[in-house]
Chain A
Amino acid sequence: MLNYDIVIIGGGPAGLAAAVSAKRSGVESILVLERDKELGGILNQCIHNGFGLHTFKEELTGPEYAGRFIDQLKDEKIEYKLNTMVMDIAPSKVVTAMNREEGMFEIQAKAIILAMGCRERSRGALNIPGYRPAGIYSAGTAQRLVNMEGYMPGREVVILGSGDIGLIMARRMTLEGAKVKVVAELMPYSGGLKRNIVQCLDDYGIPLKLSHTVVDIEGKERVEAITIAEVGPDRRPVPGTEERYTCDTLLLSCGLIPENELSRSLNVEMSPVTSGPLVNECLETNVEGVFACGNVLHVHDLVDFVSEEASAAGKHAAEYVLNGAKHKESNAKDIPIVATEGARYTVPKTINPDRMDEKHTVRFRVGDVYKNCYVSVYLNDQRIIHRKRPVVAPGEMEEVVLKKEELAAFSDLSQITVKIEEA
């Protein structure tokens, strides 16, 4: 059996940043396991720009951003295995993996960092009626085909879902000569970032139809037409509002789901809201020495925040390896953070006022669009943050910063509450 202090599952943006940070925190023995043939994860197919403004103070494309972290990993001489699929993680921290050269093998780790990322919601999970012809792709599959493999999946396109990848692909397919006829979104608001609606749809005159969904797919061999209809407040199609678009391709951009099969078999406690693990402020799960970061924890909008989160996970995993259970010693108890009234969840789920850094950023998402509202934080019943926001939306992650001195000074603190308050 192989032995490493820290094994990191996934060599995308989260795994790379976690590895570099763990090494710089003093752990020598680190192994990154990646199932693709190269490091960098989803960034390799995200060839558009806008990455890295927070991390590198310049605007990079996805492959360039990944390249910076891959260089850091190589400079730190961190070991990694490509084309390697992790099959199982046992509670004893034995990782079972396989690849073509070594077959099936086991690795004993002292700490594990979960950085497996997420995957796209598929047609099967969406219950779209109609035939099952060729020409239906997830937006991410189309993105990989166009940007990395040099194929165009189609010429006349309808997109269902206004997630960021769908918006980015609306522009990308247009630039490559396709006609993107419409983007339909079930919800009354977009699931993507505002900037992507501006520079991917508005710039090219592509219509976005909110509160619309696909009600029929025609074509036996290949997609021939898509029918969309308006939906009512119950999100069911309204009869008589159908519009038919002839096309050869349907792209689906209907949400991302953290990929946690391995976490579940490890008995990691999961959040029903994020479909990711529940973690404390060290990004440690309920299984001691198992940490999580990036999109496997909760789906992010910005890779910069993934890198930041993953660096913290790497640092804490290193502390665990160097200090054992002592890394958890604290003069205070873990305080639960409750998300309510508009806030859907928070990462982390608990925070320890003694163990935390001077400041800790808590990230969360809201469940609906709220205008002229306040993001509020309460310690027990006392409001300590009341920040005015012109608009908050489910497609854009929110944050609040908690200060150690404020938490430590509050006697009998039993609960922190994050909520949206309307003006």
Chain B
Amino acid sequence: METRELICIGCPMGCPLKVEMDNGEVVSVTGNTCKRGDVYARKEVTNPTRIVTSSVIVEGGSLAAVSVKTKEDIPKGKIFDIMKQLKGVKVQAPVHIGDVILSDVAGTGVDIIATKNVL
């Protein structure tokens, strides 16, 4: 039996989690205050994922950049591949929250979407 201690990143509460593992299988998760903590702990010890947020240049709008994010979480190891693909991306205003900026980024099957309205 192996124990791993994590801090939940699901929300700013930062619950201290304890994960009991047996041969790479999760046996139990304790210390979480909500279901998100359980889900995060199981993922973090087997296949860690993150939401990536960034910004890309927008032309012809009221602001020079528009904030974006991966629509869902992506494998942690793909973060820098995604950032590389976002480099040099330019979009035309207007952009609305939820607009797809790049589809299937870095082969993750996940889209990059806008998180701000730039008109």
Contacts and interface: CB of A to CB of B under 8 A. Distances in A.
B12 A203 contact: no
Contacts of B112: none
Given A67-B117, A195-B12, A301-B12, A49 B65 contact: no
B42 interface: no
7 closest cross-chain pairs (CB), A and B: A194-B14, A47-B67, A63-B116, A150-B65, A150-B64, A195-B14, A61-B115
Interface in B101-119: 115-117
Main secondary structure of the interface of A (DSSP, over half): mixed
B14 A396 contact: yes
Interface of A: 37-38, 44, 47-50, 53-54, 59-64, 67, 146-150, 175-177, 193-195, 197-199, 203, 301-302, 390-391, 396
A61 B67 contact: yes
B51 A59 contact: yes
25 contacts: A47-B54, A47-B68, A47-B69, A49-B51, A49-B69, A50-B9, A53-B11, A59-B10, A59-B11, A61-B53, A64-B97, A64-B116, A67-B97, A147-B65, A148-B65, A148-B67, A149-B64, A150-B55, A175-B52, A175-B80, A175-B83, A195-B13, A197-B7, A301-B12, A390-B16
B63 interface: yes
A195 B69 contact: no
Nearest to A168: B53
Contacts of A301: 12
Contacts of A64: 97, 115-116
B21 interface: no
A62 B22 CA distance: 39
Given A47-B55, A61-B53, A67-B117, A148 B14 contact: no
Nearest to B52: A175
A175 B79 CA distance: 8
Given A176-B83, A193-B14, A203-B50, A47 B115 contact: yes
A284 to B, nearest CB: 28
A177 B10 CA distance: 26
Contacts of A47: 53-55, 67-69, 115-116
Given A49-B53, A50-B12, A63-B97, 7 more contacts: A50-B11, A59-B10, A61-B115, A150-B65, A175-B54, A175-B83, A194-B7
B114 to A, nearest CB: 9
B53 to A, nearest CB: 5
Contact of B7 (A53, A67, A146, A195): A195
B97 to A, nearest CB: 6
Interface in B50-106: 50-55, 57, 62-65, 67-69, 76, 79-80, 83, 97
A224 to B, nearest CB: 27
B115 A302 contact: no
A391 B15 CA distance: 10
Given A49-B51, A203-B50, A198 B7 contact: yes
B64 A148 contact: yes
Contacts of A37: 62
B53 A48 contact: yes
A63 B67 CA distance: 8
Nearest to B31: A390
B19 interface: no
Contacts of B117: 67
B99 to A, nearest CB: 12
A198 B9 contact: yes
A175 B69 CA distance: 13
B8 interface: yes
Nearest to A52: B11
Given A193-B14, A199-B50, A149 B65 contact: yes
Nearest to A63: B116
A201 to B, nearest CB: 12
A53 B11 CA distance: 7
B71 to A, nearest CB: 11
Contacts of A396: 14
A61 B14 contact: no
A342 to B, nearest CB: 20
Nearest to B8: A195
Contacts of B67: 47, 61-63, 147-148
A203 B51 contact: no
